Amino acid sequence: MSVNNSEAVAASKPVLNDAIEARKPGVDYDAIDPVKTHKVAELKHTVPLTSCRVDPTGRFIVAGAEDLDIHVWDYESKTKRTLKGHTSWVRSFDFSADGNTLYSACWGGDIKAWNLLDTEPQSKLTIQAHQGSARWVRVSPDQTKLATCGNDLLVKLWDLENGKLLQSFAGHERHVYAVDFHPDGKHLVSQDLMGVIHVWDLQSGKKSRSIDASVMTGYDKKFAADMGGARDLQFSPDGNELATAGITNVVNSFAGVQDPIIMLFDWKTGQEKAKLKPDKTFQGIAWGVRYHPDGFLIGAGADRSGKGELWFRKPGENEFYHTMKLPAAARGLDLLTDSRHLIVAHSHGAVHIYRMTEAEKQQQA
């Protein structure tokens, strides 16, 4: 995601209240450097957040929350609107290419579409998509279909305009946590509770192969339950690599005694390329993963202590080269269109906006 016009870059800079920017001579304040990442703005809410996304044009920041509502901030003005109608947590969003329509997936089983150009958006389409949770929603590259998955063990394909079911893919034996279109538009991938990743051929409607991510699950003896599932899933922009974020080494998942993990797979071969983990002192969940246009990878996680971290990995490396401590657990991650800013949905009820450049000192005006 990149923006080439100077107006968009200028609009991406947060407004400093009662302050002026102080710049050092000779410093490029637009040069991207993850080591320089710092918070520049906070979008406050009153209850813990569950997810976040930025629309493709960079106008809207959206977040799900434990109040079951969707909260939409205008990026430039920071004004907030609330979308009501879901009956459970919303953990997944996607957008139309123009950013005007938001699609949301609810643990109550439904998918909704919202026109963000309306002053007070109401759901313009509701799909009763899954029995049990609807965990994920994605828009196809050609903007004609929606892919969803859920607790009924199914992956489904829908007509984006009228919400009619086009295809249903059966083959998972446990809850399906995430689904995404390959950039070529010809394949879907889906990952379930046990770390099984299926690849679906959209032309034949059949499973073409499977990828083994079984390290991303574990049995919690205390609660006698399997724990796992992708908390985020994304292809690299060129489609050559698949990243999935979640957990491993489960001991007591409800207490957060488990390790975050981000796994990378070669798309062509299906072979594992990397298992990325933070420092051993960090126990919890990897909630987000994003490929930056410059080639590096960004991850976000929640520690059992309630704190969070951002992790950065250079291409080809097998470990994170930089970690940034966060004030509260990260429950979602996304990049803004200028590629210099990222957002994190935090468990303390706020979206924080971070800038990956040299910080500009603020002086009182």
Given pLDDT bands bounded at 50, 70 and 90, which one contains residue 227? very high
Q: Model confidence over 262-277: pLDDT tens digits?
A: 999 999 999 999 999 9
In degrees and rounded to multiples of 5, residue 237 shows phi and psi of: -55, -35
What local confidence, expressed as pLDDT, does residue 161 receive?
95
The mean pLDDT of 321-339, rounded to a whole number, is: 97
What local confidence, expressed as pLDDT, does residue 23 receive?
72
Structural contact between residues 329 and 284, judged by C-beta atoms closer than 8 angstroms? yes
Given pLDDT bands bounded at 50, 70 and 90, which one contains residue 83? very high
Structural contact between residues 185 and 203, judged by C-beta atoms closer than 8 angstroms? no
The residue among 191, 176, 97, 63 whose CA lies nearest residue 129 is: 176
The mean pLDDT of 50-62, rounded to a whole number, is: 97
What local confidence, expressed as pLDDT, does residue 259 receive?
96
CA distance 188 to 200: 5
CA distance 55 to 239: 20
Angle ∠(81,82,85) on CA atoms, nearest 5: 150
What local confidence, expressed as pLDDT, does residue 3 receive?
35
Structure tokens that stand for 10 in this block: 């200028």
Given pLDDT bands bounded at 50, 70 and 90, which one contains residue 362? low
What local confidence, expressed as pLDDT, does residue 254 receive?
79
Residue spans of beta strands (DSSP E) within 221-321:
225-228, 232-235, 241-252, 257-266, 272-276, 284-291, 297-303, 308-313
What local confidence, expressed as pLDDT, does residue 4 receive?
37
- Evaluate if residue 365 carries a pLDDT over 90: no
What local confidence, expressed as pLDDT, does residue 22 receive?
65
What local confidence, expressed as pLDDT, does residue 10 receive?
38
- Tell how far CA 332 is from the center of its chain: 5
Q: Model confidence over 12-35: pLDDT tens digits?
A: 444 444 444 567 787 899 999 999
Structural contact between residues 172 and 196, judged by C-beta atoms closer than 8 angstroms? yes
Q: Model confidence over 90-132: pLDDT tens digits?
A: 999 999 999 999 999 999 999 999 999 999 999 999 999 999 9
Strands 70-74 and 350-355: unpaired
The mean pLDDT of 222-233, rounded to a whole number, is: 93
- Evaluate if residue 360 carries a pLDDT over 90: no
